[in-house]
Amino acid sequence: MSDAAILRVEDLRVGFATPEGLVQAVDGVSWAVAPGRTLGIVGESGSGKTVAAMTAMGLTRGRRTRVSGRVLLDGEDLLSAPPERLRALRGDALAMVFQDPLSALHPLLRVGDQIAEAVRAHRAGVSRAAARARAVELLEHVAMPDAARRVDAYPHELSGGMRQRAMIAMALANEPRVLIADEPTTALDVTVQKQILELLRRLRDELGMAMVLITHDLGVVAETADEVAVMYAGRIVEQAPAAELFAAPQHPYTWGLLRSMPRLDAEAGAELVPIPGRPPSLIHPPSGCRFHPRCAYVRERHREVDPPLAPLAGAGAADTGHRVACLLSETERRAIWARLAQGAARRRSWPASSSSSSASRSRAACCCAGGSARWRRSTA
């Protein structure tokens, strides 16, 4: 996947100077995404997901911002590109769907005018009439109801799902090669969430673009992503193909995210299992492993040694791309997850599997039913 990547982030570090000190929002993050593939970046609020994406778009530049590393779009380093070059790429080759469409859309401009502006900004010689026709076409493409009429609507006149569709239409105006979707289903009801996720998958496949999906919802990731990067305190702590991460997660933080989710097959009244504590300060992060103050499996060494993101020891020549930053041995991690999964299994009754394939095996998976995160039993 990495050889064919169209967007590659290498050792990205982003800090913001404040009177209290430097907030190291992103600290040595690397990932890549290829055309036709989706990378899901997941983690709690404040883990650095959005900052990394906005830095790739060139939207965090400022006098108090400290940025290093590389962001390569088809081999071109965007971090060293001048502002004029970034403006030419942003909204054309590289586009972003922002987290809150109501605040991202201009409240005093009609939706169609905003989409048409995105077209004309990158396509010299396109008339206003042609740009408006393109806006209607894009709204129809994202399944906007009554697109010919909605093109003249103001953002406040649209529902949440319609505003999100308008944002996606604007991002797709010039058929970008990479689309970054930042929490595209936040604050939407589950039916609309499902429609938006299906829309993003369809557009990715039709246009052959690479997609980076930023979310805190593992259900959305399970439904949509091909690869997953789990971020905590500005760093990636686990990275793997989606199926492998949900079948055999390796980091205690990933276990906590999975166990804190509501389950479709849980007993009535069953309580969720939250991750104790709170994310650390990014000005004064803890020594050693940054997750150790919240980790139930911490050892004394973990308070002193900062674990690197490394391939699983057992991967060998058949490296699947599964990497983890944890000082527990792989044997310990597998045994702990097996106990956690077995404990969850004892609290529910599984339906009998109808599959008789010799290749079938049980695994715990996170699925998105109508857009809401739920656990289910599946076969692979």
Q: What is the pLDDT of residues 109-156, one digit of tens each?
A: 999 999 999 999 999 899 999 999 999 999 999 989 999 999 999 999
Q: What is the pLDDT of residue 99?
A: 87
Q: What is the pLDDT of residue 356?
A: 32
Q: What is the mean pLDDT of residues 19-38?
A: 97
Pairing of strands 178-182, 94-97: parallel
Q: Which residue has the higher pLDDT, 319 or 163?
A: 163
CATH topology of domain 2-230: Rossmann fold (3.40.50)
Q: What is the pLDDT of residue 314?
A: 66
- Measured from the Cβ of residue 150, the count of other Cβ atoms closer than 10 Å reads 21
245 touches 236 (CB < 8 A) = no
Q: How many CA atoms lie within 13 A of 61 on its CB side?
A: 12
Please, is 148 exposed, middle or buried when counting C-beta atoms within 10 Å of its C-beta (0-12, 13-18, 19+)? exposed
Q: Which amino acid is at 344?
A: A
Evaluate the CA torsion angle 314, 341, 220, 237 in order and state its sign. Answer: negative
Q: What is the pLDDT of residue 318?
A: 63
Q: What is the pLDDT of residues 289-347, one digit of tens each?
A: 999 999 999 999 999 999 999 999 765 546 789 999 999 999 999 999 999 888 765 55
Under DSSP, the state recorded for 121 is H
Residues 6+ apart with CB under 8 A from 345: none
Q: Which of 33, 45, 38 is nearest to 71 (CA)?
A: 33
Q: What is the mean pLDDT of residues 22-42?
A: 97
DSSP notation for 20-50: TEEEEEEEEEEEEE-TT-EEEEE-STTSSHH
Q: What is the pLDDT of residue 353?
A: 33
Share above pLDDT 70 across residues of the chain, in percent, rounded to a whole number: 88
Q: What is the pLDDT of residue 358?
A: 31
Domain ranges of the chain: 2-230, 248-313+321-379
Q: What is the pLDDT of residue 263?
A: 73
Q: Is 363 helix (H, G, I), strand (E, B) or coil?
A: strand
Q: How far apart are CA 41 and CA 245, in angstroms?
A: 13
Q: What is the pLDDT of residue 322?
A: 95
Q: What is the pLDDT of residue 2?
A: 55
- Max mean pLDDT range (50-59, 216-225, 313-322, 361-370): 50-59
Q: What is the pLDDT of residues 235-294, one digit of tens each?
A: 999 999 999 999 999 999 999 999 888 777 777 777 778 899 999 999 999 999 999 999
302-324: buried (b, 16+ CB within 10 Å) or exposed (e) per residue? beeeebebeebeeeeeeeeebbb
